[in-house]
């Protein structure tokens, strides 16, 4: 996928909502993940699900023509508030791009979080602290996400 399209995806993949397929942020507001105009199903993982037994937070799965996000609710609730909210954008990015790359999902997710007005210096500083300031994974995420801050300059 060409990089220029990611900001368009960021604006198109999210919508404020209050239905069962909506993710609830720490502040009590909610949002749905939309892919190609369809809401992504979000479900809690049963205790025997691999994401629970492996201690993972979530997985985005291809289901027919759409996607589903399966949440390990105990792991999700244990996250710091900023990370709790960021993981929604990360998982939604897995479906919207679509991608299996964790760095790409972080990049697109962070762009979407910024577009939604849920990221900025304070939040991103806390995300960096969670990952570790000099962590290459987070550095690659920021480098990618920041590449879209400036509009391309005309030649000459």
Per-residue model confidence as pLDDT tens digits over 91-110: 999 999 999 999 999 999 99
Task: Determine the structural domain holding residue 116 and report its residue range.
Answer: 3-146
Tens-place pLDDT, residues 7-18: 444 444 454 444
Structure confidence at residue 148 (pLDDT): 76
Tens-place pLDDT, residues 108-120: 999 999 999 999 9
Task: Give Cα separations from 45 to 52, 53, 60, 70, 133 (angstroms).
Answer: 7, 10, 12, 6, 31
Structure confidence at residue 88 (pLDDT): 98
Q: Is residue 129 part of a domain?
A: yes
CB 90 within 8 A of CB 79: no
**Is the model's pTM score more than 0.75?**
yes
Structure confidence at residue 20 (pLDDT): 59
In three-state secondary structure terms, 91 is helix
**pLDDT surpasses 60 at 122:** yes
For residue 71, give the H/E element and its range.
Answer: strand 66-71
Q: Is residue 66 part of a domain?
A: yes
Q: Is residue 21 part of a domain?
A: yes
């Amino acid at each position: 996928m060409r990089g220029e399209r990611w900001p368009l995806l960021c604006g198109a993949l999210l919508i404020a909502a209050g239905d069962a397929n909506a993710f609830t942020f720490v502040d009590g507001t909610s949002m749905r993940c939309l892919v190609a105009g369809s809401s992504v199903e979000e479900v809690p993982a049963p205790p025997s699900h691999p994401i629970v037994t492996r201690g993972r937070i979530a997985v985005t799965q291809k289901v027919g023509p759409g996607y589903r996000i399966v949440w390990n609710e105990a792991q999700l609730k244990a996250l710091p508030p900023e990370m709790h909210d960021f993981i929604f954008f990360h998982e939604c990015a897995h479906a919207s791009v679509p991608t299996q790359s964790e760095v790409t999902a972080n990049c697109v997710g962070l762009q979407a979080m910024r577009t939604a007005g849920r990221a900025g210096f304070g939040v991103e500083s806390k995300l960096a602290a969670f990952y570790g300031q000099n962590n290459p994974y987070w550095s690659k995420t920021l480098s990618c996400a920041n590449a879209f801050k400036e509009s391309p300059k005309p030649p000459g």
